[in-house]
Amino acid sequence: MIISVLNQKGGVGKTTLSVNISASLTRMESRVLLIDADPQGSSLNWAAAREGEPLFTVIGLPRKTIHKEVAEISKGFDYVIIDGPPRVTDLARSAIMAADLVLIPVQPSPYDVWAAEEVVTLINEARIYKEKLKSAFVVNRKIANTAIGRDVGEALSEYNTPVLRGCVTQRVIFAEAAAKGCAVYEIDPQGPAAKEIDNLVNEIKEFIQ
């Protein structure tokens, strides 16, 4: 199963989600490959910051041929997570064509809702060649108990793309974990951030079945 995490707007938390989804799947005893397709190399930087054994395999592949190479690269893995580039480019198109599911992280902000249009358009174009391609929004960096946090799902409904129930709240622990090359569950296994990620991953599994 290949999951691309994509949004043409930077700063939406693609790498945070990619890393922690990969870690959660690994904790659930899946074999996971994380492909860093962002030329900025944020996932690779996360892996380099880690001390000790890696949680899962991380490679850099910021090339517009991902969809042609992923079948060979992914042999032996249950899940491939692609941390996509921050702009609409041939590289983004390749990451979409490689995927079975495209997750679109959005922050609860009008700017993020407006910016989602471009990646939704790319996904719809890709379905001409890949009819079974699935996509869904993930609300990330939600600010608890705010009106805009509650309303973002309604705002996204115009795109005819599902919004997953599981959302991820803005928490300092995500930055603290990233600085150490860790997943949030390694910092606080029973904490709310780890539970949110695990709930999201379980919902993703249901969604792609």
Q: Kindly report, residue by residue over 147-174, the tens digit of the pLDDT.
A: 555 677 778 888 889 999 988 999 999 9
Cβ neighbours of residue 141 closer than 8 Å, sequence gap 6 or more: 12, 13, 107, 108, 168, 169, 170
Looking at residue 81, what is its pLDDT?
98
**2-208: CATH architecture:** 3-Layer(aba) Sandwich (3.40)
* Band of pLDDT at residue 66, cut at 50, 70 and 90: very high
Mean pLDDT of the chain, nearest integer: 91
Q: Name the pairing type of β-strands 134-139 and 79-83.
A: unpaired
Helix (H) or strand (E) holding 177: helix 172-179
- Per-residue pLDDT, averaged over 115-130, amounts to 91
Q: What ranges do the domains of the chain cover? A: 2-208
Percent of the chain with pLDDT over 70: 96
Local structure of residue 51 (DSSP, 8 states): -
* pLDDT band at 89; cut points 50, 70, 90: confident
Q: Which comes out higher in pLDDT, residue 86 or 73?
A: 73
Q: Residue 192: which H helix or E strand, with range? A: helix 192-208
Extract long-range pairs of 11-15: CB within 8 Å, 24+ residues apart: 11/107, 12/105, 12/106, 12/107, 12/112, 12/140, 12/141, 13/105, 13/107, 13/140, 13/141, 13/168, 13/174, 14/38, 14/42, 14/83, 14/84, 14/86, 14/105, 15/42, 15/43, 15/46, 15/83, 15/178
